[in-house]
Amino acid sequence: MFQKLAVAAGLMAALIACAPKKETGSQEWKKQSFGKTASGEEVELYTLANSRGMEAGVITYGAIVTSLKVPDAKGGIVDVALGFDTLEGYILGPDPYFGAIVGRYGNRIAKGRFSLGGVEYKLAVNNGANALHGGLRGFDKQVWKAKPAGQSLELTYVSKDGEEGYPGTLTATVAYTVTEQNELRIEYSALTDKETVLNLTNHTYFNLAGQGEGDILGHIVTINADRFTPVDAGLIPTGELRSVERTAFDFRQPIAIGERVNAAEEQIKLGKGYDHNYVLNGAGGGLAVAATVTEPKSGRTLQVSTTEPGVQFYTGNFLDGTLKGKGGKVYQQRYGFCLETQHFPDSPNRPEFPSAALKPGARFQSTTVFKFSATPGS
Ligand code: GAL
């Protein structure tokens, strides 16, 4: 009898040890297969969750955020990130960089050239005459090594010296955490063995009404920036830091994207809408609010905080209805917006911009937080 009891107790203890933890803040991550790349590399999908119902899907291909399920004011949960149901969707072009970690250098480097320490480097050119988002095979097209822990996932990619033309072996780590405050926290860090340049960002397209649920023109945006970096016809910054005052770029007070996205202004025409880097006020002082976006009908709000000096506000101008995304949704122009926290585009050729250089022995560190909340809408 005693023996039977002891066995039963042992069994119970084993069962309890195996059961997913239920207490606040200790939800388990989940892992499943997401297919194989053409070269046979396995890709995994991790799901990170908090106890309030928020969930982020992240795949090891491109460290891509494939979904962001967030609660709304009415108790529903909606996926607010554009993406694909399958790995093929992410691999086949044209590449919108949905949800990806972009690197080694996010956004454009003019003519794919820059000099560092007296040496001129030539990069892979993939956007007219310019290098965009790390080149032909940037960090968004590599399989990262994953290390999950609780509500976090740490992903590492080692970029070889000379890859896409960049100097130095760069070890980049991105840690995603879904916090109990309904945040997706992204912590970037990197080390190099030779001086290099880097600009890491996350390229999630948000639609706070739900992915595929129409355009984002009604979303109300505030950006904490008095200045932006105007561009030339190739979307390369001219070097000017221009005041947003009396332009369509002034988001210091909340205003709907659709109010001025087609304004008769040269910069809007060049960008086909908003596709510009904002110079964040008070940068350099730690984690600070860069932008806030609200979708009036759902009452859902996204607040973006970052330690980076800039943010690329991009309104999905190049989406044109050719991409079929999750759940068969067709993504038309302006069906999503991105807030890509970053160093300014083309910084390696602009000594007057905050430096994007990294020397051996120094650790690059950067944090961005996407925080979701919801107030009852109209
Ligand atoms: C943005 C960039 C746009 C476009 C887009 C991807 O980061 O600013 O010009 O390249 O990525 O389609």
Separation of alpha carbons 215 and 269, rounded Å: 19
The answer to whether the beta carbons of residues 288 and 282 sit under 8 Å apart is yes
The answer to whether the beta carbons of residues 91 and 115 sit under 8 Å apart is no
Q: Exactly one of 203, 219, 276, 343 is catalytic; which is it?
A: 203
Per-residue pLDDT of the chain (378 residues; tens, 9 = 90+): 333 333 343 334 333 333 333 334 455 799 999 999 999 999 999 999 999 999 999 999 999 999 999 988 788 899 999 999 999 999 997 899 999 999 999 999 999 999 999 999 999 999 999 999 999 999 999 999 999 999 999 999 999 999 999 999 999 999 999 999 999 999 999 999 999 999 999 999 999 999 999 999 999 999 999 999 999 999 999 999 999 999 999 999 999 999 999 999 999 999 999 999 999 998 888 999 999 999 999 999 999 999 999 999 999 999 999 999 999 999 999 999 999 999 999 999 999 999 999 999 999 999 999 999 998 754
To test ligand 1's pocket by mutation, which of 64, 90, 97 has the most ligand atoms within 8 angstroms of CB? 97
User: Per residue in 34-65, pLDDT tens?
Assistant: 999 999 999 999 999 999 999 999 999 999 99
User: Per residue in 128-160, pLDDT tens?
Assistant: 999 999 999 999 999 999 999 999 999 999 999
User: Per residue in 92-122, pLDDT tens?
Assistant: 978 999 999 999 999 999 999 999 999 999 9
Strand order in the sheet with 30-36: 30-36, 42-49, 55-59, 65-71, 77-79
Spans of all domains in the chain:
2-374
> Which residue CA neighbors atom 5 of ligand 1 most closely?
96
> Which residue CA neighbors atom 7 of ligand 1 most closely?
107
Q: Which CATH architecture has domain 2-374?
A: Distorted Sandwich (2.70)
Ligand 1 atom with minimal separation from the 318 CA: 12
Catalytic residue status for 163: no
C-alpha distance across the termini of the chain, in Å = 65
Helix (H, G, I), strand (E, B) or coil at 272: coil
> Which residue CA neighbors atom 3 of ligand 1 most closely?
275
Q: Which two tokens stand for residue 41?
A: 């590399």
Is this structure's pTM higher than 0.85?
Answer: yes
The answer to whether the beta carbons of residues 354 and 343 sit under 8 Å apart is yes
